[in-house]
Amino acid sequence: MTVVDQPVDDAGVEATPEFEAAAIRQESQRGFLLALPSYAYLILFFVVPLVIVVVYSFATRNQFGGTDLSGWNFDSYAKLGEPIVRAILFRSVWLALITTVICLVIGYPFAYFLATRSPRIRNVMLVFVMIPFWTNFLVRNYAWRVILGNNGPLTKTTEFLGLGEQELLFSQTAVVLGLVYGFLPFMILPLYASIERIDSGLLEASRDLYANGWQSFRRVLLPLSMPGVIAGSILCFVPSLGAYVTPEILGGAKTTLLGSYIVTQFLTARNWPLGASLSFVLMAIMLSATLVYFRKGGQTL
Amino acid sequence: MTAAVELTGITKRFDDVVAVDNIDLEIADGEFFAMLGPSGCGKTTTLRMIAGLEFPTMGSLKIFGDEVGTLPPNKRPVNTVFQNYALFPHMDVIANVSFGLRMQGIDKKVATASAREMIKIVRLEGLEERRPSQMSGGQQQRVALARALVNHPKVLLLDEPLGALDLKLRQEMQGELKRLQQDLGISFVFVTHDQEEALTMSDRIAVMNDGQLLQVGTPEDIYENPANRFVADFIGQTNLLEGTVEDSSTVCLANGARVHAPSAHGSGTKVAISLRPERAHIRQRGDVSAGETAVDGVVESVTYLGNARVYGIRLDFMGMEVRDENRPGAMLHEPGSEIAVSWETSAISVVAD
């Protein structure tokens, strides 16, 4: 609704196109003014650092571990092709993919269950989904260290069952476990939101039209919940790909992932250009994932 | 002949609420059958039980002699036209209409050909590639019909299918549904809360209220001989003149007047005489024809409808309405006129609760 209150003459006159255009212009100016604080914040603390990262990625590392902002080159990008970096990149993408798929497979049935409960039960269960967020992410990861650790409940259980001492900590499995744990709510919530909106009458109609349970899911529920599937997958994939805390705490030295590698480049190896170019590539991957989301799922969200 | 649908002792409970209470019902093959009642009366639940979308708590449900009460919807030879059509929004018209055939494992080419044919029958040619959201309500309604009928169901179930359409379209679709049903020769079971729709379209009507089946009969039957007060009141308009049965041919009205009204109710039963507005006459007092019963009243209001006038009449114990067709020479009664309301004995029915 447009409230026209500025170019108005006290005496009512006949409407003119000029008046209308002026009113519309003022409406959009007001919108811009309201958005200005967030624009300013984002430009200062998001766009500017981003530009700095890009600039550094083309800079040169000098022999003292500093960075010379001269002699621009693509050396650091060329380094990305080196086997060790490539291996880390692939491993990160692979673990992020596994994490996303596991989250989807576990999260979908749960989201469906949630969406089909009565509102009261639904709200209680939604709170349960969010409860982990009340504790710091770092603390929760250390909790997993205890669970998976040497004398933790998991090893105790496997020993008790006669499966021997199963050491999970500092392995890729532990990292995936931690990532799934950390990002499952990000899968469940958008899935729940999109399933909840689907008219249950459509599922009934499909059953009435001879679809069995699986066909009904495959032909009606899944396609209609696709926006949620895509949103949830991206919300899991993107942070898993750049994860730093979880692999640092639960993963071993053998499972270096992108996040840790970038940190090493900046802090230990003192190779800022490489760290910057890696960050930039990571961001590019995430950005394209997000674009896919907006193209495929965004329009119906 | 085996009934198309046969319900015996069907009961449906939701937690503590009895939605459908011990219903017996037979729907014949090729019949246009309406289930009529106010919202919440159990008519939709009954339809959903026939479709398999709800399972009965108790009772037997047969379709052409086969017990189906515990089968899922995809195992029943019936299809449904849903109240809001429930068209698949992510599929075009062809995909919607051929969905049922595809799910039955019919080859895509064959299914598409059958779908095209059915789309022609419901007169939607040229719209095959449209999505439901790009169609009008009336067109969506036809897609829903085609999507159900393409499967050649033995019984077609319709849940208030015309409820969302505007009046003009509704009347058009009423005719079309009737024509389709006659062409196909299968039973249509039609749920509606619109008594006029039920009267105009159906071969037989089941009137429900509060989970109970009150009366099953032809439209004439239900209008002329309502089984009880609720049916008399719900179907069409009527005046209910309260009274008590005195003997098999007399009812004592609430004002003490004794009128000739044959009924099978025992003496002392509280009853009402159902007198339809169009069946009562307004006469000069003392000028009542032989064989008519009359009560005195005063004209309170006149409503001009074009084709008729409806008089609001105050009797000494209640108000009532009389409808007078607007024929040439129809007598006009001004408000305040002291008149008598009269009727033939055959015009009334005596109903108990």
Does residue A88 lie within any of the structural domains? yes
Chain A CB contacts of B73 below 8 Å: 204, 207-208
Distance CA B282, CA B321 (A): 10
A204 and A243 housed in the same domain: yes
Helix (H, G, I), strand (E, B) or coil at B352: coil
A140 and A213 housed in the same domain: yes
Given this model, what pLDDT does residue A149 score? 83
Q: Closest partner residue to A205 among B82, B90, B151, by Cβ?
A: B82
Given this model, what pLDDT does residue A298 score? 52
A52 and A87 housed in the same domain: no
Residue pairs between chains A and B whose CB atoms are closer than 8 Å: 62
pLDDT digits (tens, 9 = 90+) for B252-295: 999 888 899 988 888 889 999 999 999 999 999 888 888 889 99
* Average per-residue pLDDT for chain B: 93
B206 strand-pairing partners: B35, B216
Given this model, what pLDDT does residue A6 score? 54
Q: Is B215 on the interface with A (CB under 8 A)?
A: no
CATH 3.40.50.300 residue window(s) in chain B: 5-229
pLDDT digits (tens, 9 = 90+) for B157-199: 999 998 878 888 888 889 999 999 999 999 999 999 999 999 9
A7 and A149 housed in the same domain: no
A84 and A45 housed in the same domain: no
Does residue A62 lie within any of the structural domains? no
User: Quick check: A301 pLDDT over 60?
Assistant: no
Residue A1 banded pLDDT, cuts 50, 70, 90 = very low
Helix (H, G, I), strand (E, B) or coil at A146: helix
Given this model, what pLDDT does residue A223 score? 95
Report how far Cα A85 is from the mean position of its chain's Cα atoms.
Answer: 23
User: Quick check: B303 pLDDT over 90?
Assistant: yes
Consecutive H or E run containing B113: helix B108-121
Does residue A96 lie within any of the structural domains? yes
Does residue A11 lie within any of the structural domains? yes
CATH 2.40.50.140 residue window(s) in chain B: 237-351
**Token pair for B317:** 């114990």
A21 and A170 housed in the same domain: no
> How many domains does chain A divide into?
2
Which domain range does residue A230 map to?
78-300
Residue A9 banded pLDDT, cuts 50, 70, 90 = low
Q: Is B51 on the interface with A (CB under 8 A)?
A: yes
For B5-229, which CATH class? alpha beta
User: Quick check: A12 pLDDT over 80?
Assistant: no
Does residue A69 lie within any of the structural domains? no
User: Quick check: B320 pLDDT over 90?
Assistant: yes
Contact present, B19 and B70 (Cβ < 8 Å): no
B247 strand-pairing partners: B250
Given this model, what pLDDT does residue B2 score? 87
B315 strand-pairing partners: B297
Residue A71 banded pLDDT, cuts 50, 70, 90 = confident
pLDDT digits (tens, 9 = 90+) for A106-142: 999 999 999 999 999 999 999 999 998 888 989 999 9
Percent of chain A with pLDDT over 90: 50
How many residues belong to chain B? 353
Consecutive H or E run containing A56: helix A48-57
pTM of the model: 0.83
Interface pTM, i.e. ipTM: 0.86
Q: Is the CATH code 2.40.50.140 the one for domain B237-351? A: yes
**Of B215, B221, B156, B223, which is closest to residue B190 (Cα–Cα)?**
B156
Residue A266 sits in a domain whose CATH number is: 1.10.3720.10
Cβ of B51 and A208 within 8 Å?
yes
A30 and A82 housed in the same domain: no
Does residue A25 lie within any of the structural domains? yes
A104 and A246 housed in the same domain: yes
**Token pair for B190:** 């039609």
Distance CA B297, CA B336 (A): 10
Consecutive H or E run containing B314: strand B308-315
A196 and A234 housed in the same domain: yes
A6 and A118 housed in the same domain: no
